Amino acid sequence: MNQSNKKRSYIHPEGWKFAAIFLAGSIVLLFLSTAIALVLIGFFLTFFVIWFFRDPERNTPQDQNLIVSSADGKVCLIDEAYPPEELPIDSKKMKRICVFMNIFNVHVNRSPVQGKAEHIVYKKGQFLNASLDKASDKNERSSLVLNTENGAKIVVVQIAGLIARRILSFISPNHMLTQGERFGLIRFGSRVDIYMPLDAVTKCKVGEKVLAGESILATLK
């Protein structure tokens, strides 16, 4: 399924089926239940689901030397680490910038660079609080390896969280991603780790709020 940057509905398609389920349940309650509070809760949840799956357009800077955020949220960690062990790439330390998404953030993930999807590897795991450092190793995750036109290798890891229990990928290996293109989604709060060359120059700081496809996290040398 190609989730390109063309004009689309403000709501991601994944959201409509959940909204339909909650709406159907609310209508059933409306006719069968005398508990008005339950009916109101049902309609509230319907609108919340629609809002949660919002997918706004973003103005992405097109520059092969820029690494933009893959997720909306807050930068929770900047360090050096090895990429996930299940990836068939050289095991060497890379710079890592982690973005934590709470339940109120947009959860559509975007490519940090323009490049070719070399590998996409899913690994089952736990569902610890995604803001914890150990979540990178312990939690369920899906890793995407990107090769850029200038030869840099970028790894983007979608990590499930305490509430998030479903990671979706919209692309397949060999797909050519444009910078800021939608490539996946994580439902209900989670984290994205972005690995880059050690000499990349950091342009963000821990605690900073960022937007997927817009905020610049680092620049490549």
Q: Of 61, 48, 73, 53, give the one whose Cα is nearest residue 10.
A: 53
Catalytic machinery residues: 190
Q: What is the pLDDT of residues 66-79, one digit of tens each?
A: 999 999 999 999 99
pTM of the model: 0.83
**CATH code at 174?**
2.70.70
Strand order in 182-186's β-sheet? 108-110, 182-186, 167-169
The percentage of the chain sitting over the pLDDT mark of 70, rounded to a whole number, equals 89
Collapsing DSSP states into helix, strand and coil, what is residue 112? coil
Q: What is the pLDDT of residues 11-24, one digit of tens each?
A: 666 766 766 776 77
Q: What is the pLDDT of residue 189?
A: 65
In a domain, 141, yes or no: yes
Residues 6+ apart with CB under 8 A from 198: 80, 93, 94, 95
Between 48-57, 117-126, 159-168, the lowest mean confidence (pLDDT) is in 159-168
In a domain, 137, yes or no: yes
Q: What is the pLDDT of residues 179-220, one digit of tens each?
A: 999 999 887 668 999 999 999 999 999 999 999 999 999 999
Domain hosting residue 72, numbered range: 66-219
Domain count, the chain: 2
Asked if the model's pLDDT at residue 5 lies above 50, the reply is: no
Q: Say whether both 44 and 70 belong to one domain.
A: no
With 0-12 / 13-18 / 19 or more C-beta atoms within 10 angstroms meaning exposed / middle / buried, residue 81 is middle
Q: Say whether both 139 and 213 belong to one domain.
A: yes
In a domain, 200, yes or no: yes
Q: Say whether both 135 and 189 belong to one domain.
A: yes
